Amino acid sequence: MKVIIENGNPVVAKLQGRLDTTAAIKVAPYFQDLNQYAAGHLVIDCGELEYISSSGLRLLLTLRKEVAEKNGKLQIRNMNEDIQQIFKITGFISLFEIVD
């Protein structure tokens, strides 16, 4: 699992690989780093994300909460069909702004 953060407007975090339980533990510090941008515009790019587990979803939910508290904007883009299905099954599809 790899997270690439591109500073700009918006700040983009590109997720690459599998965001399973083991990877979620390793990338949690990157998500904590994203909290510094929570008052602005954040985009999570899932174009190269192959899989997400409940631990990965929890990281996104925690980030969403931080962004909401600081009146920022969080968008998720480029989800493949498998990731979209996971978001639909878990109800996360209604919690996030999904863009193409």
What local confidence, expressed as pLDDT, does residue 100 receive?
80
CATH number assigned to the domain comprising residue 94: 3.30.750.24
What local confidence, expressed as pLDDT, does residue 81 receive?
95
Q: Per DSSP, what are the bridge partners of residue 48?
A: 16
Given a cut of 90, is residue 1 above it in pLDDT?
Answer: no
Compute the average pLDDT of residues 65-94: 96
Structural domain of 74:
2-99
pLDDT of 17-63, one tens digit each?
999 999 999 999 999 999 999 999 999 999 999 999 999 999 999 99
Overall domain count for the chain: 1
* CB atoms closer than 10 angstroms to residue 72: 19
What local confidence, expressed as pLDDT, does residue 2 receive?
86
Distance from first CA to last CA of the chain, Å, rounded?
22
Residue 82: partners with Cβ closer than 8 Å, 6 or more residues away: 50, 51
Q: CB–CB of 46/83 below 8 Å?
A: yes
pLDDT of 59-68, one tens digit each?
999 999 999 9
CA-based radius of gyration for the chain:
12
